[in-house]
Amino acid sequence: MKKSLMALAFLGAFAGVAHAQTAVQIYGNLDAGFIKDTDKTLSIGKRAANTLGFKGTEDLGNGLKALFQLEIRYEPDTGTVESNSRPLFQGQSRVGLQGDFGMVRLGRGLTPMQETIGAFEPWHGLPTSAGFYTDVEVAGYTSQPLDPAGSSNNRWSNGFWYNSPANLWGGFQVNAAVATKEANGGAALVGTGTSTAPQYPANSEASANPFSLSATYNNGPVSAMAAYERNAVETKFWSLGGAINATPDLKLMATYARQDQGHTFAFNPRTKAWVLGAQYSVGPGKVLAGIGSKNPDGAPKTKQFSLGYEYSLSKRTYVYVDASRKKDITGATHLLSNPSTVNHYDVGVNHSF
């Protein structure tokens, strides 16, 4: 009897330790505001992606941890899943291991290039029309051209990620990812084919394994990045960026990028782009400013100028206002959109939890 009681006490103590070494966190944010674009009615929308996430780690001993992260993205004005056509865990769904070697993960998430380049853009890499992250900064590039219409342009499904330790070699970090060739149900892509015989028929597999690489450097007030990526239709993209805290209140940043669509464009396959940005803190507020240009071969340039302001009400809540002008907007086919100049205005509130 005494042995049984001792065994039960031991198991109970062990279970308590195991529970204490497992941490699960619920997090997210809600961003909603009024938005007005040229030739569109006033609407309620978002400046940042709205997220609800679950992430956790388990201590496996000897410095090794198991980890997972699931992230839902939703629309603030309707409460529906983002864009109504994206998967439930659109933000990410990854599981992996972390140790002295760094971190490895499997599943769905931002590509290393997309995750890195967003940190060198004045609007924090948010998918807002006032910012530069989703179009001009990446020279109109998409990481997943064979996914269904309306999918996010900066994530991979069916991927494997590796991140080195954050301070590898005195401030350097290396990040890499590769995805399988699996078909994801996308629409046909004409490319160098025809509408009746597209280069990539509907629900095509990738013609080559997509891969993405990035390297970052952080040392005091100076940071820099370099990235290279090839997507499922063998479009190639590279970018360089840098940032410096010129004063305690002023941060300056710049990026340059090039996209090569030679595998799917018969003519004028290259697009160049650059962005210059700044953030200036004034008390609890922050001024955001940026100017950028996207220059496709044989097509008009897209030029953008944006100005914004954020005011922190607390560590987790801020209000914002933005104004942006984007001129001569070209689409994926390098043809002008209509209208060719769009003025964007927004005002709203963002709360993190």
Rounded CA separation 301/268 (Å): 13
The string of pLDDT tens digits covering residues 333-353 is 778 877 799 999 999 999 999
Q: Which residues of 280-304 are buried (b: 16+ CB within 10 A; e: fewer)?
A: beeeeebbbebbbbbbbeebbebbb
User: Most distant CA pair in the chain: distance in Å?
Assistant: 86
**Composition of the chain by helix, strand, coil, percent to 5:** 10, 50, 40
Kindly list the domain boundaries of the chain, sorted by start residue. 25-352
Q: Which pLDDT score, from 0 to 100, does residue 330 have? A: 82
Class of domain 25-352: mainly beta
Rounded CA separation 142/157 (Å): 14
Residue 7 pLDDT level (bands cut at 50, 70, 90): very low
Task: Work out the mean pLDDT of the chain and round it to a whole number.
Answer: 92
Range in 7-21, 24-38, 90-104 with the lowest mean pLDDT: 7-21
Instruction: Say if residue 132's pLDDT is above 50.
Output: yes
Instruction: Say if residue 276's pLDDT is above 80.
Output: yes
Instruction: Say if residue 285's pLDDT is above 70.
Output: yes
Q: Which pLDDT score, from 0 to 100, does residue 21 have? A: 59
Separation of first and last alpha carbons in the chain: 49
- At CA 117, angle to CA 312 and CA 175, rounded to 5? 115
Map residue 51 onto helix, strand or coil. strand
Give the torsion through C-alpha atoms of 11, 15, 16, 18, to 10 deg: 140
Instruction: Say if residue 192's pLDDT is above 90.
Output: yes
The string of pLDDT tens digits covering residues 206-227 is 999 999 999 999 999 999 999 9
pLDDT, average across residues 270-287? 98
Rounded CA separation 200/188 (Å): 6
Q: What single DSSP character describes residue 125?
A: T
Task: Say if CB 330 and CB 299 are below 8 A apart.
Answer: yes
**Nearest in space to 321 (alpha carbons), one of 332, 312, 311:** 311
Range in 130-134, 137-141, 273-277, 296-300 with the lowest mean pLDDT: 296-300
Rounded CA separation 255/273 (Å): 8
pLDDT, average across residues 21-49? 94
**Nearest in space to 300 (alpha carbons), one of 337, 266, 325:** 337
Q: Percent of the chain beyond pLDDT 90? A: 82
Rounded CA separation 61/305 (Å): 51
